[in-house]
Amino acid sequence: MLENKISIVITDLQKENVITHITDAAALLPGLLSLTPGQREKMLKLGDKSYGFNDNAYAHYEQHGNFMPSYVESAEYTIDVNARKQLYSIRSVVQAFLDDIDDSLMIVGSEEFYVALEYYNSVKRGAKSNVPAAKGIYDDLKGRFPGRGGNPEVPPTPAP
């Protein structure tokens, strides 16, 4: 028997409100940019291991800005450092929300698929026993398991 781990009802109004709020939040940051895969590939990347280096370099710059090369716009450096810190804080909250959505999708999808397979197995048994309407339903659903001939084997029901 399947343990129902989640039972969440999301109304159309709730969905629309969430989408509106997310859209509104994105509009609060009009300077955000999108990159192509090629641009991402070519770009110098700041990874988790480099945050400390960057913070340390900036702290030194603030004390000894005379070492900054003349071709670098110092004001833009400060803007970039501050933007990275703010965006990282925002991303942490958004990522946690997205992780919860992804986990919930995985759970409801797993539960839904389990029940669909149970229904399919019941219809298949009904089709073998010539129960009215079962053959038509079975013929419609069996396409999910192609390559198994005219009488496909039903995959085993996943363990709960």
Mean pLDDT within 47-59: 92
pLDDT-based confidence at residue 14 (cuts at 50, 70, 90): very high
Residue type for position 19: I
9 token code pair: 């009802």
Residue 147: the pLDDT is 66
Residue 152 has pLDDT above 60, yes or no: no
Q: What is the model's pLDDT at position 160?
A: 54
Domain parsing of the chain, residue ranges: 12-144
71-105 pLDDT, tens per residue? 999 999 999 999 999 999 999 999 999 999 999 99
Q: What is the mean pLDDT of the segment spanning 34-48? A: 93
DSSP string covering 105-151: HHHHHHHHHHHHHHHHHHHHHHHHTT-TTHHHHHHHHGGGS-SSTTS
Give me the percent of the chain exceeding a pLDDT of 70: 91
Q: How does residue 157 score in pLDDT terms, banded at 50, 70 and 90?
A: low
Angle between helices 134-141 and 74-128 (to 10 degrees): 150
